[in-house]
Amino acid sequence: MRLASLECWHSLSYGRFQYGTDVAKHGEAFGPTTVLEANFLRNLIEEFLKVLDSEVLSSKPETVEDSDRVDVHGTEVVDGACLLYCERFMEFLIDLLSQLPTRRLIRPLVAAVAVVSKCHLSDLCRHDKGKLFAQLVETCFSTMNVLIIKVDK
């Protein structure tokens, strides 16, 4: 829960951060010792997007063993480890967004980085082997847009 705290809002854009601090005026002061914690989740998301953009698909098989991973058009090779990483990362985001304590803190960060939009535009989402990934992206999109109303008794 330390890494999914109010401090992660410090990695948002200035305008979005100001809006968030106006909404939630509580929490401890942000010190320089917590910079790693404040930027951890954003750095993790940016690393995921880097893998998604550059390492999942390559244009030619590197070895004879890779030739079975070529798609029907013979143009793209899917790296199985990167595909699995991308699928698991989307599951991780869905889990964070589905839990109320972390949702209100993580949702602005995921929206600011535009994770769902970048995943929709990725080549993996349109690839035959990326069907599960595309389903997970849709689930993440649905989870982000669920309206949660808190009812006081």
> Each residue of 54-83: pLDDT tens digit?
888 876 655 555 555 444 444 678 889 999
Least confident span in 10-19, 31-40, 120-129: 10-19
Strand partners, 104: none
Prediction pTM value = 0.70
Q: How far is CA 57 from CA 1, 46, 85, 95, in A?
A: 34, 18, 13, 26
Q: Give the length of the chain.
A: 153
Question: For the residues 8-34, what does the mean pLDDT come to?
Answer: 54
pLDDT of residue 70: 47
Listing DSSP states for 74-94 in one string gives S--EE-HHHHHHHHHHHHHHH
Alpha carbon of residue 33 to chain centroid: 25
Q: Nearest Cα to 46, choosing from 110, 140, 94?
A: 110
